[in-house]
Amino acid sequence: MGRSHVRTRRDADPAGYGFALDELERPLDPRGLFGGEARQAPVEVEIGSGKGSFLVAESEVRPDTLFLGVERARRYWLYAADRLRRRERPNARIVRGDARDALDAMPEGSVSGLHLYFPDPWPKRRHAHRRLLIQPEFLAACERVLAAGAPLRVVTDDPGYFDQIEAALAARPKLVRSRYEPPASANEGELAGSNFERKYRVEGRRIQAVAAVRASVPGVS
Ligand SMILES: C[S@@+](CC[C@H](N)C(=O)[O-])C[C@H]1O[C@@H](n2cnc3c(N)ncnc32)[C@H](O)[C@@H]1O
């Protein structure tokens, strides 16, 4: 995404809603980023939150779940954190850092859902190597943090990338393919309801989705 796609307010302020991953304790307990009572609620993580549209919308319709976004680009992180602060979302926060580092910092089995919507930040073919690679190591990190029965949901407009994700998933028996359910905040006919989905639908791109749940294998962690 180019610089022109986001215009962060001059007075943008992440206070209380946006955190730098590098400055957080390890292991990272996402519940610690929320206020008192919220600490009992399940935590879902969105990777590559961009401007934070999913976090804003989903946290409103599902107030009993805590949503943690992970965004690498500082300007998008700041934009999203400022949005959450201005809307006073009690159940959504965003950390600035790399997705893999964030997953590795979280305890095993601590996440009740993982959302990856349009994880390709570089639509140009020559930038393909910079995408958030959903490869075996990355899926292993997802598998580790997901609680038994918790879903991983991925949506993309890139057919080659979709095939790559499906192949990588097929090689992980503990991530069992399941029916894809759009998030509660998506509109009729949408698969994610994110900013990029809306933009790409206008452009007529084909959008595909895949889901898998973390299997519980007795005796195997
Ligand atoms: C194409 S945008 C999609 C934004 C949003 N999910 C949506 O659907 O509108 C991809 C986002 O993922 C972020 N991203 C890419 N690789 C990342 C990584 N390794 N860790 C964290 N964020 C990443 C990018 O900075 C960008 O904001």
CATH number of the domain where residue 169 is located: 3.40.50.150
Residue 76 CA, closest ligand 1 atom number:
27
Q: Is residue 167 part of a domain?
A: yes
Residue from 87, 38, 45 nearest 64 by CA: 38
Tokens 């399940």, residue located: 42
For ligand 1, atom 4, name the residue with the nearest CA.
50
- How far apart CA 42 and CA 63 sit, in angstroms, is 11
Query: Does any domain span residue 67?
Result: yes
Give the pLDDT score at 4: 43
Q: Is the pTM of this model over 0.75?
A: yes
Residue 53 placed within a domain: yes
- Our mutation pick for probing the ligand 1 site, out of 6, 46, 72, counting the most ligand atoms within 8 A of Cβ, is 72
Average pLDDT per 10 consecutive residues for the chain, totaling 221 residues = 64 94 96 81 96 97 97 95 96 96 97 93 55 79 97 93 90 96 97 96 96 80 48
How far, rounded to the nearest angstrom, does the alpha carbon of residue 100 sit from its chain's CA centroid? 11
Which residue range(s) make up the domain with 181?
Answer: 3-214
On whether residue 210 sits in a domain, the answer given is yes
The answer to whether position 219 is within a domain reads: no
Within the chain, residue ranges assigned H as helices are: 53-61, 74-86, 99-105, 136-145, 159-170, 195-202
Alpha-carbon torsion (190, 196, 198, 200), positive or negative = negative
Is 120 part of the annotated catalytic residue set?
yes
Residue 72: inside a domain, yes or no?
yes
Domain membership of residue 221 (yes or no) is: no
Please tell me the residue having the least CA distance from ligand 1 atom 1: 121
Atom 12 of ligand 1: nearest residue by CA position: 48
Q: Write the pLDDT tens digit of every residue in 98-112.
A: 999 999 999 999 999
Pocket test for ligand 1, best of 78, 132, 155 (most atoms within 8 A of CB): 132
Token pair belonging to 28: 């990272």
Q: Could you tell me the sign of the dihedral formed by the alpha carbons of 53, 54, 55, 59, in that order? A: positive
Report the separation in Å between the CA atom of 118 and the middle of ligand 1, taken as the mean of its atom positions.
Answer: 7
Q: C-alpha distances in angstroms, 35 versus 40, 66, 194, 201?
A: 10, 11, 26, 37
Residue 129 buriedness (CB in 10 A; 0-12 / 13-18 / 19+): exposed
Q: Give the number of domains in the chain.
A: 1
